[in-house]
Structure 1
Amino acid sequence: MDRRQLEYFLAVASHGSFTSAASALRVAQPSLSYTIRTLERELGTSLFHRLGRGVRLTPEGQALVGSAQQVLRAFQSALSSVQQVTRLEAGRLDIVALTTLAVDPLAGLVGTFRRAHPGVDIRIEDPEHAAAVAEMVRVGECELGLADFSVPSAGLRALELREQEMLAVLPPDAEMATGRSVKMTQVAAMDLITTPPGTTTRTLLEQSLAGAGVPLRIAVETPHRAAIVPLVLAGAGVALLPRPMAEDAARQGARIGVIDPPVVRRVRLLWRPEPLSHAGQAFVEMVRRETAPGRVDEPSHGHRETL
C-alpha cells in the first residue's frame, strides 16, 4: 500500500465514481481503476460496490477512509517538516465546526490565519449533528473541531475560547428599540423561531428559558439556519442568535435586544492528543493568542493546563 493508492482511493470515495475521480486527479481512468484493483488485491477485500456508472463504499472501504486520511496527513506533515521546516508555505488544514460557529468566530480566525499563511488551504466541514464535531476529530476526518460545551469531548484536547453572547433578534416593526435590554421572560412571551431539538442553539434556548422558569413557545421550527434571519425580517417571530449574526440582522433592518441576565455560549477548539500537523499547531497557537482566555483541557481525566 502506498500514498498514491490511498489518494486514488479517497478520490473515488469522495466523487462516487471512477470517471469523476479520474477527471479530478487528471489521470487516465484505466490507470485509476488498475490502482484501486491492486489496492483491493493487496488488502484481500473489495473497497467499493460497483453500481453501473457509480460506486459505493463497502464496509471495508468505510473502515479505511479515516485511516487513509490520517496516513496522508502524516505523510504531508513529514514532507513539510523536511522541505519547509515550519514556514508553512504549503499544506492543508481540515476543520469541522458547528454552523453558527463557522460564521463567528471561525470565519475571522481563518481570515487571520490565511493572511499569515496564504499557502495553506483550509477546508471547513459542516457536521451532520453537533456530536459529530468531536467524532470527526476523534477518527481523524478533520484535524480541528469547533464546538460549544454541550458537545462531549472525551479523549480530545480542548482550548476554551471567549464566550459567545446571544442576543434577541426581533422583526423590524417590533416596539422595542434596538439595543435595549430584554428579560428571558419577555422573550418567552414572544413567538420564537428556533432550530430542531438536539441542536446546540435550541438546547441553549431551552436551558435559558428553564432557568427563567418559563415555558418554550415555538412559532417556527426549521433546520435551515440560513432562513432564520429572513424569517425574523418577514415578521414570523423572534430568534436568539450570536452577537455577530444579530448585528448583521440589525443592519438588514431587524431590531436586537440585549438579554439580561446575559445568555452566553461557551466555545472550545478540539483536537486529538497526538502531535498536530504544522498547520494545525500554527492554527491552535494563533487561536490561543487571538481569542482564548488561556486554558487547555487535557484528555486524561479533565486535567487542565494553564497557559
Structure 2
Amino acid sequence: MDLHQLQAFDQIVLYSSFSKAARKLGVSQPTISLRIRALEQEVGGALFQRNGRHLSLTELGQSFLPYTQTALRAMTTGIDVARRTHEGERGQLRIATLPSLAAGFFATALARFYHDHPHIDVAIHTGHTQEICEMLYEHYVHLGFVVGPFFHPELSPLLSLKEPLILVTYPEHPLAQAEHITLAEIVSQGQPFFLIDWNVEVKRWQSHLLSAAPSSTIEVPPQTAYDLLMSGQGVALLTRAMVEQEVKTGRLVELHAQQIPQFHRESLLMHYTTVSSLPTAVKVWLRFFREEARHYCLDSR
C-alpha cells in the first residue's frame, strides 16, 4: 500500500469516476485501475461496485474510506510541516542559558524571533554551567550558554560574548550624588556591597578590596543583587545589559569610581561537537541573537 494508491481511491470516490480521477491525478486510466486493484489486494476485497454506469463503494470501501482520508490529511500536513521546518517556519528551538543571561538582549532576540516565527516551538531552560553541559550531552537542548572561559572536547563554541560589568546603585544612595568615589568608599559605604561570583578575576578583585577595607557585604546571585538594588539597597557590579534600561530611566545610577578595572562577564554559546548541522529554526534564532548581541557585547563572532 502506498500514497499513490490511497490518492487514487480518494479521487475516484470524489469524482465517482475512474477516468475523471485519472485526469485529476495526471495519469492514464489503466494506471489508476492498476493502483486500485493493488489496493484491493491489500485490503482483501473489492472497494467499488458498479450498478450500470453508476459507481459506488462496497461495504469494505465505505469502512476503509475514513482511514484513507485521515492518512492523506496526515501525509499532507506532514509534508507541509517538513517544508516549513526546512524553511525555518516550523520546528523546535531548545536553549539552555545562565539565569543572569535570560533577560536583556537574550529576551529581546527571543521576542523578535517569536514575532517573526510564531509557529516554532520554543523551550528555554536555565541552569548553571554544569547543568547546561549535561543538557547538551543528553541532547535535551540544541544550544547552551556557559560561563567562560570553558573548554571541553565534546562541546564547541558558536559565539563568544563579553559583557561589560558596571557599578550601580539606587538613586537615593549617598554615593549616587558623589562626583568622585574611591573603591574604599564603595566597599565601606555600600550598605551593603553585594558580592557576585562573575569570574575568577572579579572574585580576586573583590577579595582584595575586602581585605583592605572590611565592610558589610552579602554574597548573592546576580538576579538577587538586581532585585535588592531596585528595592533601594546596596551597591553591586552587574552587567550593563542587565541594567541598561534602568540606568537610562534613572531607576538605577551608574557609579564611576577611580581606579576600577574594566571587568567583563564572558559567556560562550556552546553546541555538541558531533552534531553536524543545526536545525534551521536554531540557525534562524542564532541570526536574531547575533544582531542583538552586537549592541551589548565587545566580542561576538
* Greater gyration radius: 2
Contact 2:85 2:91 in 1 (8 A): no
Task: Quote the Cα distance in structure 1 between the aligned partners of 2:228 and 2:178.
Answer: 20
Structure 1 pair 192–86 and aligned structure 2 pair: CA distance change class (3 A): same
Superposition map of 1:108-257 within 5 A? 108-127=108-127, 129-177=128-176, 184-189=183-188, 190=190, 191-194=192-195, 200-201=197-198, 203=200, 205-209=202-206, 219-223=217-221, 225-250=222-247, 251=249, 253-257=251-255
How has the CA–CA distance of structure 1 residues 235 and 83 changed in structure 2, closer, same or farther, with 3 Å as cutoff?
closer
Q: Helix, strand or coil for the counterpart of 1:205?
A: helix
Does structure 2 conserve the Cα–Cα contact (< 8 Å) formed by 1:130 and 1:151? no
The structure with the largest helix share of the pair is 2
Instruction: Tell me the TM-score normalized by structure 2.
Output: 0.57
For 1:262, the aligned partner's letter is Q
In structure 1, the partner of 2:37 is none
The aligned counterpart of 2:285 is 283
SS in 2 for 1:173: coil
Aligned to 1:268: 268
Among all aligned residue pairs of Structure 1 and Structure 2, give the percentage whose two residues are the same amino acid. Answer: 20
Equivalent pair of 1:188/1:214 in contact (CA under 8 Å): no
Partner Cα distance (2:178, 2:119) in 1: 41
Measure how far apart 1:148 and its partner are. 2.7
Secondary structure at 1:147 match in 2 = strand
Normalising by structure 1, report the TM-score.
0.56
Counterpart of 1:201 in 2: which secondary structure? coil
What is the alpha-carbon distance in structure 2 between the residues aligned to residue 179 and residue 146 of structure 1?
A: 37
Residue 120 of structure 1, CA deviation: 1.2
Q: Distance in 2 between matches of 1:238 and 1:84?
A: 49
Amino acid at match of 1:247: E
C-alpha distance in structure 1 between counterparts of 2:243 and 2:173, whole Å = 15
What per-residue deviation string (whole Å, max 9, x for no partner) do you get for residues 184-237 of structure 1? 555444332245xxxx537563134357795685522345x5442342244542
| Per-residue CA distance 1:37-78 (angstroms, 9 max, x = gap) | xxxxxxxxxxxxxxxxxxxxxxxxxxxxxxxxxxxxxxxxx9
- What is the CA–CA distance in structure 1 between the aligned matches of 2:237 and 2:288, rounded to whole Å? 29
1:178, distance to aligned residue in structure 2 (A):
7.1
RMSD (Å), alpha carbons: 3.5
Is the Cα–Cα contact under 8 Å of residues 85 and 281 in structure 2 kept in the other structure? no
Deviations 1:66-110 (A, max 9, x none): xxxxxxxxxxxx978843363222222111100111113311221
Structure 2 alignment gaps of length 5 or more:
1-77
2:272 aligned partner, one-letter code: R
- Do the aligned residues in 2 keep the contact of 1:131 with 1:151 (CA within 8 Å)? no
The separation in 2 between residues aligned to 1:179 and 1:157, in whole angstroms, is 45
User: 1:101 touches 1:147 (CA, 8 Å); kept in 2?
Assistant: no
Distance (whole Å) between structure 1 residues aligned to residue 158 and residue 215 of structure 2: 35
- 1:119 maps to amino acid: H
Structure 1 residues 89 and 257: alpha-carbon distance in aligned structure 2, compared to 1, 3 A threshold: same
Is contact 1:185-1:209 (8 Å) kept?
Answer: no
The answer for the alignment partner of 1:75 in structure 2 is none
- Bigger drift between 269-278 and 247-256 goes to 247-256
